[in-house]
Amino acid sequence: MKAIRSTDFHFPGQKAKYTGKVRDVYSIGDDYLVMVATDRISAFDVVLPEGIPYKGQVLNQIAAKFLDATTDILPNWKIAEVDPMATIGWRCEPFKVEMVIRGYLTGHAWREYKSGKRSLCGVTLPEGMVENQRFPEPIITPTTKAAEGHDEDISKEEIIAQGIVSREDYEQLEKYTRALFARGTEIAAGKGLILVDTKYEFGKRDGKIILMDEIHTPDSSRYFYAEGYEERLSKGEHQKQLSKEFVREWLMANGFQGKEGQKVPEMTPAVVSGITERYIELYEHITGEKFVPAPEADVTGRIEKNILDFLKK
């Protein structure tokens, strides 16, 4: 399977194309977006030079399942999953923040904590915690949504004071974030997993707050295996996890953290195929379903046809 690192479609009524770190987003008229999950992979806000076969399919299909599983909490942007790698949905005006919620002290939060910081995005962190320990209550640590470069940590008070989001809207975003995280936690527990942390993006359509983009995927979330969690924590061992963190760890072990002057290590065919295998493993554990690879012949032609067929309706 050849990785699809980019697309260049021209659909009827297309007004613009936006290329994100992973997705190619096509604006159709004033109301619709076509979002193609490519096989690009990013880490430390850098798009890596090699694509990961089937990664786009994994992300698109997991996101579709979780969007469908949370419509009772709030409406979302999805209209239809038209291809294993593409979803069509409503165009929304995005809030310029990402709502990050953390149930456990790990990843970026742990790196900050280990450096001596006891406040993250205006949230005070308890003393005496260890890596991967559960917080007494999940904490929300928002980031600004950078058009390019690194997203930046920001506090609730700064967001409101700077007029990025109104107080009323922000407090509603917090409620939705906690409710979505509780639902994701419940679903994960049923699969023998712990939803460790995740991020959500929201927008507005016709004055209503809408859930956007992807949710509870391995790119936007971190999962631990529940079995053995307490034992590994008590021994100070690494947790067995399902997330993109293994890619970050491989990069850090090879001297790359996205900092100026650092070079991405060589992504050999063995490294790439290993990452593909991990993404398929993630899919199967998170959904509880067998991964069925989409047809490999003329993938971009298939995506384009499926999108066009839906738009004609």
Q: Is 143 within the bounds of a domain?
A: yes
Residues 66, 180 contacting (CB under 8 angstroms): no
Same domain? 161 vs 284: no
Sign of torsion over alpha carbons 57, 58, 61, 63: negative
Question: Which CATH number fits the domain that encloses residue 18?
Answer: 3.30.200.20
Question: Which of 128, 51, 159, 141 is CA-nearest to residue 101?
Answer: 141
Residues 186, 68 contacting (CB under 8 angstroms): no
DSSP 2-17: ----------TTEEEE
The pTM assigned to this predicted structure is 0.90
Q: What confidence tens digit (pLDDT) does each residue in 93-110 have?
A: 999 999 999 999 998 999
Q: Is 307 within the bounds of a domain?
A: yes
Q: In this predicted structure, what is the pLDDT of residue 240?
A: 86
- Tokens in use for 37? 């999950």
Same domain? 139 vs 154: yes
Q: In this predicted structure, what is the pLDDT of residue 150?
A: 60
Q: What confidence tens digit (pLDDT) does each residue in 79-89 have?
A: 999 999 999 99
Q: Is 255 within the bounds of a domain?
A: no
Same domain? 102 vs 76: no
Residues 258, 247 contacting (CB under 8 angstroms): no
Q: Among the three residues 218, 243, 268, which one is the final residue of a domain in this structure?
A: 243
Strand 221-225 versus strand 241-243 pairing type: antiparallel
Segments forming the whole domain that contains residue 62? 14-92+276-312
Count up the domains in the chain and report the number. 2
The number of residues in the chain equals 313
Question: Which CATH number fits the domain that encloses residue 182?
Answer: 3.30.470.20
Which residues are registered as beta bridge partners of 42? 47
Give the 3-state secondary structure percentages of the chain, helix then strand then coil, rounded to 5: 30, 25, 40
Q: Is 257 within the bounds of a domain?
A: no
Q: What is the mean pLDDT of residues 143-157?
A: 79
- CB atoms under 10 Å from CB of 239, counted, come to 19
